[in-house]
Amino acid sequence: MADEEVVEEEPDIVHVGSGESESGLSPIEPAKPIAPTKYDVRPSLGEKFQKENVWEIIVLTMSEQLSGRQYRADEAPKWAKSISNAVRQRVQELDMKRYKILVQTTIVEMKGAGIKSVQRCIWDPETDSYADDLYRNDSICCYTVVYGTYMY
């Protein structure tokens, strides 16, 4: 059996209409123009983060939600969530295409102590931005910040 080897033959491939000339070279096809890209790397001027409009939404929403209220520890988390959701919804209605909107609201009681807050984020300063505002009355201090990061 070792003497009997099976040899498989490759089928003959015939190219029909390959466009080869008698010399065996194919003709050069003219270069096609490059199509414009189908993705946006940067927002156009009118599509950038609308910082002034977002700031107005923050101020309006916080004053609507907190005016006339006194600080209550059991209600503060609900108020913060309500403000964040309302701001996010109103900012999304501005229809800033391809922007991811992040909203953070902090409510603390005014007792005369100071507060410091630091936030860090890696972003593109040409496309990404934020808007923030602070609301105060005699018993409540509320800080809301909205980040707009462009999704490439």
Residue 54 counted as domain residue: yes
Geometric angle at alpha carbon 150, from 147 and 152, rounded to 5°: 155
Distance CA 91, CA 82 (A): 14
Model pLDDT, residue 114: 83
**7 within domain boundaries:** no
The total number of structural domains in the chain stands at: 1
Q: What is the mean pLDDT of the chain?
A: 86
Q: Structural domain of residue 142, as residue ranges?
A: 45-112+122-150
The answer to whether residue 30 is domain-embedded is no
> Does any domain span residue 146?
yes
| Domain of residue 84, CATH code | 3.30.1140.40
Tell me whether residue 29 is in a domain: no
Strands (E) across 97-150 are located at: 99-109, 129-136, 140-150
In tens, the pLDDT along 24-44 reads: 666 777 777 777 666 767 888
Given this model, what pLDDT does residue 32 score?
76
What is d(CA 49, CA 95) in angstroms, rounded to the nearest whole number? 10
Supply the pTM of this predicted model. Answer: 0.73
17 inside domain: no
Task: Give the residue among 57, 61, 55 at the shortest CA–CA distance from 82.
Answer: 61
Identify whether 19 is part of a domain: no
The whole-angstrom separation of Cα 58 and Cα 99 is 17
In a domain, 4, yes or no: no
